[in-house]
Amino acid sequence: MDRETSNDVAGQGRAIPVTVIPGDGVGPEIVRAAQRIIAAAGVPIAWQEAEAGAEVFRRGDSSGVPAATRDSIESTRVVLKGPLETPVGFGEKSANVTLRKLFETYANVRPARELPGVPTRYSGEGVDLVVVRENIEDLYAGIEHLETPDVAQGLKIITRKGSEKVIRYAFELARREGRAKVTCATKANIMKLTEGLFKRVFEEMAPEYPEIQAEHLIIDNVAHQLVKNPAQFDVVVTTNLNGDIISDLASGLVGGLGFASSGNYGDGVAIFEAVHGSAPKYAGKDVINPTALILSSVMMLRYLGQSAAAAAVEDAVLVTLEEGSAVTQDLARQLGGDVEHAASTTGFTDRVVANLGRRPRTVPVRARLIDETVERRPAWSYGTDRYASIARSLVGLDVMIESDMAVDELGDELARLAGGALRLAMLESRGTKVYPSIGLSVDHVRWYRGRFLAHDGRTPSEEDLVGLLGRIATRHRWTEALRLQSFDGEPGFTRAQGE
Ligand code: NAP
């Protein structure tokens, strides 16, 4: 923590502690703009200024987030942050991702709302949706391996707990904002266990919110529908990678990066930031559009229970955009207007401050918008009792093998090596069964999965599994082995194409 400043206003009580990370590139300019507006709106905040990003990496801290910053967030539990750069050649972990993971901010919330004075292809359709993206799990767990020099694998991790937390968040957000519908977007038709788990948890939780319409759509259809008729969506909740893509798509529908705000919410901690990066070519030039970060700070004010100030700042931004009296370069370009004489970051901020207390003419007042202070429900219904009562049995082993042998030869040999309680049920390559052959021709990539299942009615022992691996290892290079289990009699693994 470098310094602490307070804009506590006389008579308004104790200032609210908030960690502020100015960040890199244009970060300090847009963060200062938001701080000025919040101060002008009369919200008493004790800012704790903290560092993260490029400079920290350059000093040799490979996390990009120094201990002093972590300590500050531990104590304030609320962060307003500018974009952070990950300089090439200083470690590969992004400080943004580190922050999200350190504080387990599991729900990434990205509103996409039609803004007055920001013309798009969809102007007039009333687009007003929120994408709630799971922020920790999925392929972003970053568990990747090279199985062979030419075969890479990434693990998609989806947990019941992680799904439940973010889906709960989405329903609570819909309830708080008086929104009518929550759409769950998955690829459960293909990824039946991972995306399927997310969909099942959604379907289990939906009845707790009878006043909210719950629907499930396949993610590719969501992309299609978003482009065709975005106004049909209200809240969209989805897994990490899906959410990454469709939240950017949604931002594009309503004016792009200069306007895209976001909040990362965990249990009792939240980080607010613009979606865009540090836009280094504009750093220090006072030309960047600060709207995205200002609207992120509106989300922060709601989180802090400052709903009146949040509404005042939001309205002031909307009035400024509606009147077009301070148009930043990016918007001037979109409008085909005079870019050279566009408003500066400071000029735009001045207008927003001047417009505090005014209501936009063309934007309808939201029917209901309640502060973030939701009743905290138990985050995880899948407690130890339920977990322990699920009957689990071992039914076999999948073994990944690198091999140049012809498929039939390899299959015959692995079948011979099986023995004991296990038999070779099949060999597959990249998800398609190749042995015993069902006539499908697949490209040879030197990497197979042998599926060994227990003979009918038998349960393999640990020795059976280890013995099998030992025998395979004498003849082949195996790269990975996965236990095959069933849960309450249901297989805990998928079948290969053609199996
Ligand atoms: P970027 O900083 O978002 O900038 C890309 C382009 O988007 C800019 O050149 C500009 O377009 C436009 N733009 C972005 N913000 C704008 C704003 N507020 N107003 C108007 N236009 C805006 O993306 P990048 O160049 O790919 O990334 C730069 C650095 O930021 C990288 O180090 C990256 O890792 C980091 N980053 C950080 C975060 C974060 O902290 N959350 C997020 C993304 C990226 P024109 O050139 O057309 O004017």
DSSP secondary structure, 20-48, as one string: EE--STTHHHHHHHHHHHHHHTT--EEEE
What's residue 339's pLDDT? 87
Ligand 1 atom 26: residue of nearest CA: 277
What's residue 278's pLDDT? 95
Ligand 1 atom 39: residue of nearest CA: 83
What's residue 92's pLDDT? 59
234 flagged as catalytic: no
Q: Which of 2, 150, 220, 408 is catalytic?
A: 220
Positions in the chain short of pLDDT 50? 1-11, 374
What's residue 496's pLDDT? 82
What's residue 382's pLDDT? 66
Ligand 1 neighbourhood includes 279 CB (under 6 angstroms): yes
CB 273: neighbour CB atoms within 10 A?
29
35, 296 contact by CB (below 8 A): no
What's residue 1's pLDDT? 38
Contacts of 327 (CB under 8 A, 6+ apart): 117, 335, 337, 342, 343
What's residue 241's pLDDT? 97
Q: How far is the CA of 239 from the centre of ligand 1 (A)?
A: 24
Q: How far is the CA of 278 from the centre of ligand 1 (A)?
A: 5
Distance of CA 435 to the CA centre of its chain: 39
Ligand 1 atom 5: residue of nearest CA: 279
257, 292 contact by CB (below 8 A): yes
Strand partners, 265: 107, 270
Ligand 1 neighbourhood includes 276 CB (under 6 angstroms): yes
What's residue 11's pLDDT? 43
Ligand 1 neighbourhood includes 31 CB (under 6 angstroms): no
Ligand 1 atom 41: residue of nearest CA: 83
